[in-house]
Amino acid sequence: MADDDAYGHEILNHFRGKPSFEVVERDDGYVNVSRGADSYFSDYNKWESHEKSAMLYAKGRCLDIGCGAGRVLLHMQKTGQYAMGIDSSPLAIKVCRLRGARNARVMSINEIGGLQKGSFESIIMFGNNFGLFSSMANARKLLDAMRKLTSASATIIAESRDPYLTENPAHLKYHSRNRKAGRMPGQLRIRIRYMQYKGRWFDYLLVSKSEMKDMLRGTGWYVKKFIDSKGYRKNGIYIAIIRKVAKAP
């Protein structure tokens, strides 16, 4: 088992009934500790209301990016809808399969260009996984890949968090540091830690609604609507229903 798959070890231990927690370490030394992996395993009836509302837009063959422990995959299997899940964590994919997910594979979001063209009608990115785009430049590259692997009327269902809805001095200082470095304010450099395991550092992107619209401009995708979480004004979490335009601008 890879020592750098901290996220996967957390999920595997939770699956085995052992204590789980998640430490997110930012490159400025800021650390956040989560309550554990329960949300990665939650049944549909325990999902957040904004997630349930967003799932109404998941039509046809779906690609779940950053599938974690497989909660979306298993829900779609129960409802008879086809879904394929990908995650860069080998242990997370192992747990997906142990839980009965039929179509889960180890794959990074940056590898989706290798999937068959026109394979999917919906792409799901729950759990703030819009952040996996990592930067403006990488987002445009991946959005182009998503255009190619989806149908003409495709939808991306992506969750993000507005980084500006905070008064935390450490976050505001980090935003300022990013601006000075020519990065987007909500662009993070983080890694996951769990017990003795340390994940690799990676870029993760939090954006406001207006920033998301700007990122999509000229990509052949547009925001149809936003669905706010119940505590949006406090936590900044929302889901965007992103539609493919008939013809790329």
The CATH number for 173's domain is: 3.40.50.150
In this structure, what DSSP letter does residue 35 have?
S
Report the pLDDT value the prediction gives residue 176, as an integer from 0 to 100: 98
Is 17 part of any domain?
yes
The residue segments making up the domain with residue 31 are 6-244
Phi and psi at 166, nearest 5°, equal -150, 150
In this prediction, residue 246 has a pLDDT band, given cuts at 50, 70 and 90, of confident
Measured over all CA atoms, what is the biggest interatomic distance in the chain, rounded to whole angstroms? 51
In this prediction, residue 1 has a pLDDT band, given cuts at 50, 70 and 90, of low
**DSSP β-ladder status, 221-228 and 237-244:** antiparallel
Report the pLDDT value the prediction gives residue 248, as an integer from 0 to 100: 46
Per the structure block, which two tokens stand in for 164? 């500006």
Report the pLDDT value the prediction gives residue 126, as an integer from 0 to 100: 97
Phi and psi at 120, nearest 5°, equal -130, 155
In this structure, what DSSP letter does residue 201 have?
P
In this prediction, residue 19 has a pLDDT band, given cuts at 50, 70 and 90, of confident
Pairwise CA distance, residues 37 & 1, whole Å? 19
Checking if the pLDDT of 34 tops 90, the result is no
Mean local confidence (pLDDT), 123-142: 96
Distance of alpha carbon 105 from its chain centroid, rounded?
16
- What's this model's pTM, rounded to 2 decimal places? 0.95
Q: First-to-last CA distance in the chain?
A: 46
Higher pLDDT, 3 or 191: 191
**Identity of the amino acid at 239:** I
Checking if the pLDDT of 182 tops 60, the result is yes
**Identity of the amino acid at 59:** K
Beta strands in 126-186 (DSSP E): 150-161
Q: How many domains does the chain have?
A: 1
Pairwise CA distance, residues 134 & 126, whole Å? 15
* Secondary structure element (H or E) that encloses residue 145, with its range: helix 136-149
Checking if the pLDDT of 241 tops 50, the result is yes
**DSSP β-ladder status, 197-198 and 202-205:** unpaired
Beta strands in the chain (DSSP E): 23-26, 31-33, 62-65, 83-87, 104-106, 120-125, 150-161, 187-194, 197-198, 202-205, 221-228, 237-244
Is 22 part of any domain?
yes
Judged by DSSP in three states, 66 sits in coil
Report the pLDDT value the prediction gives residue 247, as an integer from 0 to 100: 65
Is 249 part of any domain?
no
- Asked if residue 106 lies in contact with residue 87, where contact means CB atoms within 8 angstroms, the answer is yes
58-76: b (≥16 Cβ within 10 Å) or e: beebbbbbbbbbbbbbbbb
Mean local confidence (pLDDT), 103-131: 96
Is 94 part of any domain?
yes
Mean local confidence (pLDDT), 79-87: 96
Checking if the pLDDT of 109 tops 70, the result is yes
pLDDT digits (tens, 9 = 90+) for 36-50: 789 999 999 999 999
Is 28 part of any domain?
yes
Nearest partner of 50 among 237, 210, 234, judged by Cα: 237
Pairwise CA distance, residues 38 & 35, whole Å? 8
Is 1 part of any domain?
no
